[in-house]
């Protein structure tokens, strides 16, 4: 995740009321273990290997960051550029899916994390959103982020088309099957207008100690069921204030057991981690 909506302000248009109320909140008593970019502490992020490992390590959700190719395909990648996690260069939007499929999305991990390197990670492909869904099916749960939606016109419509195609949304689907998050309130409001039944989470970034007003929380409630923020700037009072407004709290990215336990003590309802196996152990210890 990266900052796009700063927590000290709501951003343009957030305070406008949505036409319909936000989706029914998820069960706040179920603490969600969200495998951040898959089990990305153990395998190359946003690859099928990382997602599969996240499932085996008891992650409740596969977290997928979306970028869009030159030919309009949604792929799983955090950055707007190919440089960090592949052997390619330049913006995703300037490359076709065919071009991106030729890239190596795993060798960088072996070089950066030799202690976790595996031969099979070399040469891994960048998966499309559809390939991820085809691999894990309707039995999995997906926590999807629209990244840089201002760069990708109609990203939201394309995402909803895919979710509908694979029967992951609709009145007959349990509301916790898919969660969509974004730093962009505009992106979330587009999705909310098109399908108000999908739970949405507003992402925030705080450069200093987190603070949020009642008015801001009421505005977020009009289209979202929860907030996600960088965990290192929040405290117990912040968590409890958000929870009192009926919103879920899903901080990111929490990798140490001591931090996981402290956040649970404060009352968060889930968290993102690169190590879902660690969080699974902490949650079991709290039962």
Looking at the predicted structure, is the pLDDT value of residue 271 above 60? yes
Q: Which residues are catalytic?
A: 36, 78
The per-residue pLDDT for range 10-47, each reduced to its tens digit, is 443 444 444 466 776 677 789 999 999 999 999 999 99
Q: For position 163, what pLDDT does the model report?
A: 97
Structure tokens at 152: 């990708």
Domain ranges of the chain: 32-43+59-70+141-285
Distances (CA, A) of 287 to 30, 31, 63, 220, 268: 12, 11, 25, 31, 15
The per-residue pLDDT for range 54-73, each reduced to its tens digit, is 999 999 999 999 999 999 99
pLDDT greater at residue 176 or residue 118: 118
Among residues 227, 219, 224, 196, the alpha carbon closest in space to that of 12 is found at 219
Output the CA torsion sign for 34, 37, 40, 43: positive
CATH superfamily of 32-43+59-70+141-285: Phosphatidylinositol (PI) phosphodiesterase (3.20.20.190)
Q: For position 28, what pLDDT does the model report?
A: 75
């Amino acid at each position: 995740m990266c900052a796009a909506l700063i927590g000290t302000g709501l951003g343009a248009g957030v305070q406008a009321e949505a036409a319909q109320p936000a989706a029914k909140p998820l069960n706040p008593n179920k603490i969600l273990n969200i495998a951040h970019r898959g089990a990305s502490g153990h395998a190359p992020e946003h690859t099928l290997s990382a997602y599969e490992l996240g499932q085996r390590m008891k992650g409740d959700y596969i977290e997928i960051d979306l970028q869009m190719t030159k030919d309009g395909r949604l792929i799983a990648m955090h950055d707007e550029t190919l440089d960090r996690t592949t052997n390619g260069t330049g913006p995703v939007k300037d490359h076709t899916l065919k071009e991106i499929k030729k890239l190596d999305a795993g060798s960088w991990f072996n070089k950066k994390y030799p202690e976790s390197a595996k031969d099979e990670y070399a040469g891994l492909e960048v998966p499309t959103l559809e390939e991820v869904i085809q691999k894990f099916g309707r039995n999995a749960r997906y926590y999807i982020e629209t990244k840089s939606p201002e760069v990708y016109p109609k990203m939201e419509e394309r995402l909803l088309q895919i979710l509908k195609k694979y029967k992951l949304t609709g009145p007959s689907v349990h509301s916790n099957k898919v969660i969509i998050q974004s730093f962009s309130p505009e992106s979330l409001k587009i999705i909310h207008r098109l399908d108000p039944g999908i739970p949405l989470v507003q992402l925030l970034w705080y450069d200093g100690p987190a603070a949020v007003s009642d008015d801001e929380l009421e505005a977020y409630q009009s289209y979202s069921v929860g907030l996600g923020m960088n965990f290192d700037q929040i405290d117990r009072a912040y968590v409890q204030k958000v929870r009192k407004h009926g919103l879920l709290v899903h901080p990111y990215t929490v990798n140490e057991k001591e931090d996981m336990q402290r956040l649970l003590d404060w009352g968060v309802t889930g968290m993102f981690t690169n190590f879902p196996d660690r969080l699974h152990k902490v949650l079991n210890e709290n039962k």
